[in-house]
Amino acid sequence: MGTGTPRVAYFCMEFGLHEKLHIYAGGLGILAGDILKAAHDTGQPMVGVGILWRQDYTEQFIDEYDRPYDSYHEYRYDFLEDTGVIVTVPIRDEQVRVKVWKCTAFGNAPLYLLDTYLPDNLAWNLTGQLYGWFEEERIAQEMILGIGGVRALQALGIDVDIYHFNDSHAVFAGVELIRQQMTKDVPFTDALLSVKQHIVFTTHTPVPAGNEAHSHRILEYMNSYDGLSCDQIVQLGGDPFSMTAAGLRLSKRANAVSQLHGHTAREMWKLIPGGIDILTITNGVHNGTWQDDSIRKAHSSEGDVWAAHTALKRAMIDDIERRNGVRLDENVLTIGFARRATPYKRSDLIFSNREIIGDLLRNHRIQIVLSGKAHPNDLAGKATITNLVRIAREYPSSVVFLQGYDMAIGKMLTRGCDVWLNNPVRPMEASGTSGMKAAMNGVLNLSTLDGWWPEACDHGVNGWQFSGGYEGGDCDSVDVASLYQVLTGDVIPTYENRREAWVGMMHASIEMAQWRFSAARMLQDYYQRMYA
């Protein structure tokens, strides 16, 4: 530990460290896992604080009617260390006991996980499913993370200089820190000013509807005020209580997760009284987890990156055959698309014009591998998955949907595909880290100019963009027309006829991504610009 380096406690609702630890839903959790791995690699004094979700977020599979269904196992983990620490969190009229586990099994800085699965808890299953089904359950889970997290660190004897809230789920930690100051007869305003010096906040969701808010009636019912008055809580989060607004008011610094997202977030929150400026620190991913060694070595030594890629593609095709019984052609341009199924990400956009895409698929000019899962309550997202499954049945030798999406599938596809497709509605993608993983493996991005890609894209050099950053109500039709134009005019001809140029683009992609969009660079930025 360097002299004067701040000790950071990184709070997040989910952590994606490995597919064997089922406590993550998607990109937010993978980011949190990657930053703990980068902290471990560089020896930075950081710990993570999260929740031990005993029943996962959801495992999602396809039924006989092509509809996604959710499955919840109850997991036990023998690689977690029992710290022996139990703290209490007052939720409604119960003192909920919270056990603290420690995880260091995946090359990560210590991660402390909070767990209510204790026989003497009436509310023993609050830490059952990530992002609980009902508002009361969600608030209780956020109280466990925030209030319980602060108390757990104190019980463990871990001194903290900076509390980093990765998204707004942890804001009750700030409320708890203020409450503790006020028990020493510090006035609320002074306590808030004092606590602010030790909190930083990362905002993620670039659409107002995605930012959580609660009525004060339900907060009071859940005992979420944590000893503060209603007026004081309103000063933090407004009425109704906005978790993001509270995060901004509780923090000395806040950041967005890409340059474009920074612009969007500053516009969204510029009228929040008492808020702060939002910096930009673009996300990054952990090279050691996501970049294949053979690709890294071939690129750094000017070796045969195409041969390394072909081996990874063949391994992916083998795995797909084992999972789905479909044998793809390793000589055909393979497009990958795998992420959370939600309407703005438009998983099925490429299939909009069946005449154009059907010809490409039937004539074996392209093949497409898809994966993803929807939030259990997202009926629109689930309908999209049903559509993808049925499209795959129409083109059985050229389109594959992989069920059971997890980190292992994500890793396989971001290494084995030739092209990584991304087509969110601009500017709704805050960052989109799957494209970074693909890029550092020489898998070329084909994407709208949203999230991180406007910072990285050198069109025709390290990947391709389509639509030129268009934003408008008719973006679906504009984007798909541009996608087809770039796909048929640039991507396919380069793959089929200009192999040397393609390999050159692979090298340019790897060179662009492997430091600039790494978790190590991201963590360095956090220490220099947020924590100092």
Q: What is the pLDDT of residues 18-32, one digit of tens each?
A: 999 999 999 999 999
Q: DSSP letters of 490-522?
A: IIHHHHHH-HHHHHHHHHHHHHHHTTTTBHHHH
Q: What is the pLDDT of residue 527?
A: 98
- Mean pLDDT of the region 488-507: 98
Expressed in percent and rounded to 5, the helix, strand and coil fractions of the chain are 45, 20, 35
Q: Give the pLDDT band (50/70/90) at residue 251.
A: very high
CA distances (Å), origin 213, targets 26, 90, 136, 379, 531: 21, 21, 12, 21, 27
**CA–CA distance, 284 with 522 (Å, rounded to integer):** 6
pLDDT reading at 1 higher than 50: no
203/183 Cα distance (integer angstroms): 30
Calculate mean pLDDT across residues 273-301. Answer: 96
Amino acid at 395: Y
Contacts of 345 (CB under 8 A, 6+ apart): 339, 423, 424, 429
How much is the average pLDDT of 92-121? 97
Global confidence as pTM: 0.97
| pLDDT exceeds cutoff 80 at 207 | no
Helix, strand, or coil (residue 17)? coil
pLDDT above 90: residue 205? no
Task: Please give the full DSSP string across 30-93, using - where no structure is assigned.
Answer: HHHHHHHHHHHHHT--EEEEEE--TT-S-EEEE-TTS-EEEE------TTSEEEEEEEEEEETT
pLDDT digits (tens, 9 = 90+) for 421-464: 999 999 999 999 999 999 999 999 999 999 999 999 999 999 99
What confidence category does residue 206 fall into, taking pLDDT thresholds of 50, 70 and 90? confident
**Helices 293-300 & 499-513 angle (0-180, nearest 10):** 100
* pLDDT of 189 over the 90 cut: yes
Ordered by start, the domain boundaries in the chain are 287-516
Compute the mean pLDDT over every residue in the chain, rounded to the nearest whole number: 96
Work out the pLDDT band at 525, boundaries 50, 70, 90: very high
Average confidence (pLDDT) over 510-528? 98
Asked if the model's pLDDT at residue 280 lies above 90, the reply is yes
pLDDT of residue 275: 85
The alpha carbon of residue 61 and the mean position of all alpha carbons in its chain are separated, in whole angstroms, by: 21
pLDDT tens per residue, range 153-170: 999 999 999 999 999 999
Q: Which amino acid is at 358?
A: G
In 10 A of CB 275, how many CB atoms?
17
- Would you list the DSSP string of 99-160? EEEEE-TTS-S-EEEEE---TT-TTGGGGSSSS-SSHHHHHHHHHIIIIIHHHHHHHHT---
Q: Which CATH architecture has domain 287-516?
A: 3-Layer(aba) Sandwich (3.40)
Please state which of the ranges 171-175, 338-342, 500-504 shows the lowest mean pLDDT.
Answer: 338-342
Structure-block tokens of residue 330: 């390793």
Instruction: State the DSSP code for 527.
Output: I
Report the pLDDT value the prediction gives residue 237, as an integer from 0 to 100: 97
Separation between Cα atoms, residue 349 and residue 447, nearest integer Å: 12
pLDDT score at 2: 41
Report the share of the chain in percent with pLDDT over 70: 99
Banded pLDDT at 122 (limits 50, 70, 90): very high
AA letter at 205: T
Confidence at 263, pLDDT banded by 50, 70, 90: very high
CA separation for the pair 36, 21 (Å, rounded):
15
